[in-house]
Amino acid sequence: MEQRFAAQSIQQTTDVFHTRWQAPSNIALIKYWGKKAPQIPLNASLSFTLSNAITQTEVRFLPLKTPTKTVTFSIRFEGEEKPEFRPKLEGFFTQILPYQPFLIHYQIDITSQNTFPHSSGIASSASSMAALAACLVDFEAQLSSISAEDRLSKISFLARLGSGSASRSVQGPMMAWGKHNALATSADEWAIPVTDIHPLFTDFCDTILLIDKGQKQVSSTLGHKLMHKHSYAAQRFEQANAHLTEVLPILRSGDLDGFIPIVEKEALHLHAMMMTSDPYFILMKPNTLQVIECIWAYRKSTGVPVCFTLDAGANVHVLYPKAVAKEVGVFINSELLPFCENRQCVHDYVGTGIKKY
């Protein structure tokens, strides 16, 4: 048990407490793929925190007359009861209970919504777990003393237990999760902000192209598991850590020529792990490859520093500095949107993390 985050002497309350927090999604540049219990990453990862792809979560804590054994909660998402969300949340509450044992004294009513289009294929586990963790730690802060710094780390720590990548949605513009020797304060149990990055990267743009809005064939949970007996796992973890070492000075100096190949390699290596898992699977779609080819051709012919990354799905994240947003916007509209479902995309940019709303 991580002692730093054990709940301190708690002053229980008989009042109803109500709080609302929003959290953004994030996009990994150095990918996390492979973990061990309890949700410990097998390599360090690094991401841009986003601004527009957001989950807003409202939580009401109602004191119970008698405490229960497990956490009592209800969940409504975008106006509807969501029984299918319960197993994941039950697992989450079981994991966090040692760190927030006071939760068994309350009925916890959760109401949540996303700002990005429903079933867009944009993963909402990072934003939703970070927003929920922010509400839970806000409540803890009413019952006990917790420093501002510990509060953010604890939100990241709890969010990680719900979804690994959620640990990186708490602050911005760039977060690292997983112990890495080039980042002195990095940890496996929570994410830290990466400071001193060049201003070029603090307002980077990410246009998320919605290539395939269908349900993924293979979940991230299964994908992570398949890394346990993957023939290339050890090399992959080493390589991701090496990419992180390599990209840090690039982020500090603003070297786009160095940035682009690392980011694109990471995306393709992640998908290469999927294609070489046993059983193997492919999450990219033909249009994912069409878009990648168009980006390469455009970059080659114009010299405009635009590149792509992928998460565990078919959608493409088009990354570029704000300074070239105008011409890249024209390129996206004319050449990339035809490959998207109903020409849909989400224009996003680097952001600062969780916020009370």
Q: Which one, 19 or 125, has the nearer CB to ligand PMV?
A: 125
Residue 125 binds ligand PMV, judged by CB under 6 A: yes
Closer to ligand PMV by CB, 46 or 143: give it: 46
Is residue 339 at the binding interface for ligand PMV, with CB under 6 A as the rule?
Answer: no
Q: Contact letters (x/-) for ligand PMV, 215-244, by CB under 6 A?
A: -----x---x--------------------
Site for ligand PMV, residues 4 to 23, rule: CB under 6 A: none
Asked if 169 touches ligand PMV (CB under 6 A), the answer is: no
Interface residue with ligand PMV, options 311, 316, 340, 345 (CB under 6 A): 311
Q: Shortest distance, CB of residue 153 to ligand PMV, whole angstroms?
A: 18
Rank residues 146 and 263 by Cβ distance to ligand PMV and give the closer one. Answer: 263
Instruction: Look up tokens 């007996």; give the residue.
Output: 229
**Integer Cα distance of 114 and 337 in angstroms:** 23
Which of 43, 45, 124, 241 is the binder for ligand PMV (CB under 6 A)?
A: 45
* Span interacting with ligand PMV, options 67-75, 85-93, 163-171, 235-243, rule CB under 6 A: 163-171
Nearest distance, CB of residue 335 and ligand PMV, angstroms: 26
- Token pair for 187: 């940890």
> Binding of ligand PMV at residue 163 (CB under 6 A)?
yes
Q: Is 138 in the site for ligand PMV (CB under 6 A)?
A: no
From the CB of 126, what's the least distance to ligand PMV, in Å? 6
Alpha-carbon distance of 136 to 108, in angstroms, equals 10
Pairwise CA distance, residues 88 & 129, whole Å: 10
33 binds ligand PMV (CB under 6 A): yes
Site membership for ligand PMV, residue 164 (CB under 6 A) = yes
Q: Which residues bind ligand PMV (CB under 6 A)?
A: 28, 31-33, 45, 123, 125, 163-165, 220, 224, 270, 311-312
